[in-house]
Amino acid sequence: MQTIAGYTERVVETRGLWFHVLEWGQPDAPPMVLLHGLTGHAHTWDHVAAPLSDYYRLLVPDQRGHGDTQHATTYSTQDFVDDVEALRQAWRLDRFVLMGLSMGGHNAMAYAHAHPNQVSQLIVVDIPPLLRRDHWPNREAMERLAIEGHKPYATFEEAFRDARAGNTTAPDENLAYRTRLNLVQDDDGGLLLKWDPKVQVAWDPADLTDRLPEIGMPVLLVRGGKTLVLPEDIAARMVAAFPDAELAEIPESGHSVPTDRPEDLVAVVREWLGRRGG
């Protein structure tokens, strides 16, 4: 399987939780914070962080209830925003580039709105400002999972088959890498997913639609060309709503752009930041 090196693992205690964080790059390089998506983890970004670490200091947390960070009791947008602000203070950052995928992109927009003086450039990857989660077709399965918890996989291959069912566009080796780092071995030798089984049901994303016109820093909205999450018309409306925004599409990517097409995402981000002073 793939191995990606170059990061340092740290733990930050704040807001009553232990946060697991990956740090990349030189301490004196321009800072960038990366936020993963729902049921993801910090290593989701490894394929992107490794090349970007030549230019930036990257701080990549497992958000509450994910990866090797502690599970929490609540998962509102404000919870995630307050977590990022507490981590920013612990990291002693002033202004930084903020990039988020999916739920992380939603949290990034909310954070940028609440703390505009801290975000120099905002990159949002494949997420709309409003999510009608009560209409999701698998809501019943999510509620059952929240009660029953994760069932262990007997083998990695079983876990990978489930991951592939949820992502048909990622290269095998990238998806295997992401899946392997989202598993922990239980006492009986089975493999359990790391994320909190109740997080899908408990996640309570705010409606950010009316906040977009008030997010004034440069914004790059990235859309996967094969995504089912961010339709073209909604992406266009988002770009029109932000005061200063551009849209970039990664044609061969689905929703999980850092896993599906990390090289293309790095190229788009570097080109845009080069033009926008990042």
Q: What is the pTM of this model?
A: 0.97
Number of Cβ within 10 Å of residue 62's Cβ equals 23
pLDDT tens-digit readout, 160-176: 999 999 999 999 999 99
Answer positive or negative: Cα dihedral of 246, 251, 256, 261.
Answer: negative
Number of Cβ within 10 Å of residue 138's Cβ equals 10
Q: The tokens of 39 are what?
A: 């049921």
Q: Examine the pLDDT at 6 and tell me if it is beyond 80.
A: yes
pLDDT at 93: 98
Number of Cβ within 10 Å of residue 173's Cβ equals 11
Q: Is 24 helix (H, G, I), strand (E, B) or coil?
A: strand
Q: The tokens of 152 are what?
A: 């262990």
Closest CA to 64 of 128, 6, 121, 21: 21
How far is it, in rounded angstroms, from Cα 58 to Cα 33?
A: 6
Q: Which residue has the tokens 């230019």?
A: 55
Q: How many residues does the chain have?
A: 278
pLDDT tens-digit readout, 63-117: 999 999 999 999 999 999 999 999 999 999 999 999 999 999 999 999 999 999 9
Q: Examine the pLDDT at 135 and tell me if it is beyond 70.
A: no
Q: Which residue has the tokens 């990061």?
A: 7
CATH fold of 7-132+202-275 reads Rossmann fold (3.40.50)
pLDDT at 183: 98
How far is it, in rounded angstroms, from Cα 140 to Cα 155?
A: 26
How far is it, in rounded angstroms, from Cα 112 to Cα 21?
A: 20
How far is it, in rounded angstroms, from Cα 219 to Cα 243?
A: 9
